[in-house]
Structure 1
């Protein structure tokens, strides 16, 4: 399996810990949470979209048909990407509705993540596209936002995200992994998941946490010995 496949077996919680050990503290996006909890973990390259505060002369219903528009951006989305929209956490302007989301599905987009809100919830749910957002609002994006571009560096939920950074999202939210660290985080993440699975088993048997989590040298030797037996 490749690194992206490996990451499907690593939780966002573990990924933030692995990145913290590398000095990266801002990897979890504040705001986006799954619109439908309990779905599969998604992993893929970021396709970025950027909104700025509303400019009434530019953010109009007519702007939806212009070359720089959310519609044009969707037509540029490659299959397998995860769309990441910087909506600055604005809570009263839904950036995408059911029709645009359905077009993303037809383009082969894996998921949509935003620190803003969505609209047309019932229709979005029918599309089946996994969505992470900070809520739902009826007004359209142009009520509070101006769309200005795509495939450029953005800030989403307090994180810097560059095009093709790797995104992982599950029930705990969404995290971003810099491209240069993907292989390392995937490898270390799988090892950490195996360790925590073993710790859970020890706790279930009645083991005390000191020396177990985190493990001391004695516990480490016992853990490694047991792993070799598997």
Structure 2
């Protein structure tokens, strides 16, 4: 029989790192970490305009069963993001406004759900951000064992408890705990560089010239032809 555990993990990223990663945004963090960590386009936000970053509390559930999300609430600390997956693909509505209320009381700032979400209107009214694979009325039970704060896989990415999670309108990115500080510094450098480029583009400079792309077009055999 498989072992099911609830690990009382102490590993967290600092508040300063969380704040910085949220300000940088998921796309910049993804680029700054060598284009790693994206959980893919299947996870979409139910609440536009939210940008969060925090430490992962990981949850592995049986499909159609949200028992372990309830168990995970006890392990949440302020600033955490709960990341939920199922042991086989599921789009059942495993999370709604009641669980969000419970998580918010513990200080959770959002949920990443590799399954279905429901009570969307209530969650939007609460302003509680969720990124989910589907929106579904389909309910769940509370009957099957799973685990909390164990390594899980979402969107092809391995997520450990305490890893940094960054989520916004562009999607969700995970950064391993040990790389979070370095990735933040790289993201800040990238942001500064992009601001300089933004100013040049706003002044009318072409990307073809700023990125020195004309020689590349020539090497690829692209020709300019004047219309007769």
Q: Give the TM-score normalised by structure 2.
A: 0.77
* Alignment CA distance shift 1:95-1:214 (3 Å): farther
* In 1, Cα distance between equivalents of 2:16 and 2:170: 23
Q: Secondary structure at the match of 2:84?
A: strand
Which deviations, in whole Å up to 9, do the C-alpha atoms of 1:186-212 show, x marking residues without a partner?
Answer: 111011111111111111212122452
For structure 2, the 5+ residue unaligned runs are 1-14, 214-228
Q: Distance in 1 between matches of 2:180 and 2:25?
A: 14
**Would the aligned equivalents of 1:48 and 1:85 in 2 still touch at CA under 8 Å?**
yes
Q: Structure 1 CA distance, aligned partners of 2:145 and 2:102?
A: 18
Unaligned runs of 5+ in 1: 216-230
Match of 2:10 in 1: none
In structure 2, the partner of 1:139 is 138
Counterpart selection for 2:32 from 18, 25, 29: 18
Give 1:2's aligned residue: 16
Q: Say whether the 8 Å CA contact 1:85–1:115 is kept in structure 2.
A: yes
- Matches of residues 17-96 of structure 1 in structure 2 within 5 Å? 17-20=31-34, 25=36, 27-30=37-40, 31-39=42-50, 41-53=51-63, 64=67, 69-87=68-86, 89-91=89-91, 93-96=92-95
- Write the distance in 2 (CA, Å) between the matches of 1:183 and 1:71: 31
Match of 1:227 in 2: none
SS in 1 for 2:122: helix
SS at match of 1:202: helix
Q: Which residue of 1 aligns with 2:4?
A: none
TM-score, with structure 1 as normaliser: 0.77
- C-alpha RMSD of matched pairs (Å): 2.5
